[in-house]
Structure 1
Amino acid sequence: MRVSTRVILLLALLASLLSFAKFNHCAENNWQSPDQYVHACYSDIPALYGERGLDKGVWAYSSGAESVEYPVIQGAVMWATAKVIPAGVNNYFYGSALLLALLFIFISLLVFKMKPEFSYLLPLAPAAIASMYINWDLWAIATMLLAIYWFDRKAELASAIALGIAISTKFLPVFLLIPIAIIFFRQEKMAKFVKYAAITLITFIAINLPVALTTPEGWWRFYDLNLNRGSDWGSLWYALSNLGLDLTHQNYLSVLLLAIGLTSLAIYLLQLRTPPQLAQIAIFVMIIVMAVSKVYSPQYVLWLTPLAVIALADKRDLKVFWFWQGAEILYHLAIWQHLAQVTGAKFGLPVVTYSVITLIRIGASIALLVRLAARHQSSRVFPSQFLLSTGESYP
Structure 2
Amino acid sequence: MVIGVRQRTPIAAIAVGLAGLAMVAGYLQKARCAGPPFNEVGRSLIFDRIKDTQVCYSDIQLLWLGREINLHVFPYLTGGISSDGKLIGGSVEYPVLSGVLMWLGGVGSHTDADFLLHSALILAPFGLLTAWMLGRLTGWWALLWSISPPLVLYAFHNWELPVIAMSVAAIFVMSLESIPFRRRAVIAAVLLAVGFCLKLYPGAFVLPLIAYVLTRGGGAERRYDVRGAVMVGAAAVTTVVAVNLPFALISYEGWRASFTFQQNRLADITTNSIWYWGLRPLFGPHNTDTPLPAYDQTVGIVSPLLVCVAFAVALRLGWLRYQREGLYPWIQVSAAMLCGFLLLHKVHSPQYTLWLVPFFVLLRVPWGLVAAYLVADLSLGIGVFKYFGALVAQTDPTTYELLVKFGVWGRAGLLIVLFFVFLRATLRRPATAEAEPAGPPPSDAKVAAGRGI
Question: Is the TM value for this pair above 0.5?
Answer: yes
Change (3 A) 1:150 1:278: farther
The alignment of Structure 1 onto Structure 2 pairs a total of residues equal to: 376
| Separation (CA, whole Å) in 1 of partners of 2:317 and 2:118 | 44
Change (3 A) 1:391 1:64: farther
Task: Find the counterpart in structure 1 of residue 253 from structure 2.
Answer: 217
**1:139 aligned onto 2:162:** yes
The question of whether the paired residues in 1 share the 8 Å contact of 2:18 and 2:147 is answered with yes
TM-score by length of structure 1 reads 0.87
Structure having the higher Rg: 2
**1:122 aligned onto 2:132:** no
Structure 1 residue 351, shift from structure 2 partner: 5.0
Task: Find the counterpart in structure 1 of residue 423 from structure 2.
Answer: 373
**1:53 aligned onto 2:89:** no
| Separation (CA, whole Å) in 1 of partners of 2:49 and 2:209 | 44
| Separation (CA, whole Å) in 1 of partners of 2:333 and 2:147 | 22
The question of whether the paired residues in 1 share the 8 Å contact of 2:12 and 2:134 is answered with no
Paired residue secondary structure (2:266): coil
| Separation (CA, whole Å) in 2 of partners of 1:138 and 1:334 | 23
Task: Find the counterpart in structure 1 of residue 343 from structure 2.
Answer: 291
| Separation (CA, whole Å) in 2 of partners of 1:141 and 1:34 | 32
Residues 73-127 of structure 1, C-alpha deviation per residue, up to 9 Å, x if partnerless?
11111112212x3422211111111222222111111111222141111112112
**1:168 aligned onto 2:197:** yes
Which has the larger helix fraction? 1
Residues 249-301 of structure 1, C-alpha deviation per residue, up to 9 Å, x if partnerless?
21221123223222221221112113245334322111111110010111111
Task: Find the counterpart in structure 2 of residue 387 from structure 1.
Answer: none
Amino acid at match of 2:261: L
Aligned ranges for residues 85-124 of structure 1 at < 5 Å? Answer: 85-124=108-147
Paired residue secondary structure (2:94): coil
Note the residue ranges of structure 1 that are not aligned, 5 or more in a row. 377-389
**1:207 aligned onto 2:243:** yes
Task: Find the counterpart in structure 2 of residue 23 from structure 1.
Answer: 30
Task: Find the counterpart in structure 1 of residue 58 from structure 2.
Answer: 43
The question of whether the paired residues in 2 share the 8 Å contact of 1:70 and 1:169 is answered with yes
| Separation (CA, whole Å) in 2 of partners of 1:225 and 1:391 | 51
**1:198 aligned onto 2:234:** yes
The question of whether the paired residues in 2 share the 8 Å contact of 1:152 and 1:277 is answered with no
| Separation (CA, whole Å) in 1 of partners of 2:55 and 2:120 | 16
The question of whether the paired residues in 2 share the 8 Å contact of 1:283 and 1:311 is answered with no
| Separation (CA, whole Å) in 2 of partners of 1:164 and 1:373 | 23
| Separation (CA, whole Å) in 2 of partners of 1:256 and 1:13 | 39
Paired residue secondary structure (1:27): coil
The question of whether the paired residues in 2 share the 8 Å contact of 1:34 and 1:345 is answered with no
**1:363 aligned onto 2:387:** no
**1:236 aligned onto 2:290:** no
Paired residue secondary structure (1:119): helix
The question of whether the paired residues in 2 share the 8 Å contact of 1:34 and 1:340 is answered with no
Amino acid at match of 2:58: S
The question of whether the paired residues in 1 share the 8 Å contact of 2:384 and 2:401 is answered with no
TM-score by length of structure 2 reads 0.77
Structure 1 residue 50, shift from structure 2 partner: 2.0
Note the residue ranges of structure 2 that are not aligned, 5 or more in a row. 37-43, 82-87, 217-223, 285-294, 427-438, 443-453
| Separation (CA, whole Å) in 2 of partners of 1:170 and 1:212 | 17
| Separation (CA, whole Å) in 1 of partners of 2:418 and 2:394 | 34
Coordinate RMSD, CA, aligned:
2.5
| Separation (CA, whole Å) in 2 of partners of 1:375 and 1:162 | 24
Residues 187-240 of structure 1, C-alpha deviation per residue, up to 9 Å, x if partnerless?
322321211111111111111111111121121112112223322411121111
| Separation (CA, whole Å) in 2 of partners of 1:64 and 1:129 | 34
Change (3 A) 1:190 1:230: farther
Amino acid at match of 1:269: G
Change (3 A) 1:199 1:47: same
**1:33 aligned onto 2:37:** no
| Separation (CA, whole Å) in 2 of partners of 1:347 and 1:13 | 38
363, 366, 370: which one pairs with 1:311? Answer: 363
| Separation (CA, whole Å) in 1 of partners of 2:333 and 2:152 | 24
Task: Find the counterpart in structure 1 of residue 206 from structure 2.
Answer: 177
Change (3 A) 1:311 1:364: same
Residues 123-172 of structure 1, C-alpha deviation per residue, up to 9 Å, x if partnerless?
12112321111111111111222122223543123212212211111111
Amino acid at match of 1:235: S
Change (3 A) 1:144 1:371: closer
| Separation (CA, whole Å) in 2 of partners of 1:353 and 1:147 | 36
Change (3 A) 1:371 1:9: same
Amino acid at match of 1:20: Y
Moved over 6 A (4+): none
- Sequence identity of aligned pairs in percent? 22
Larger RCO, structures 1/2 (Cα 8 Å, 6+ apart): 1
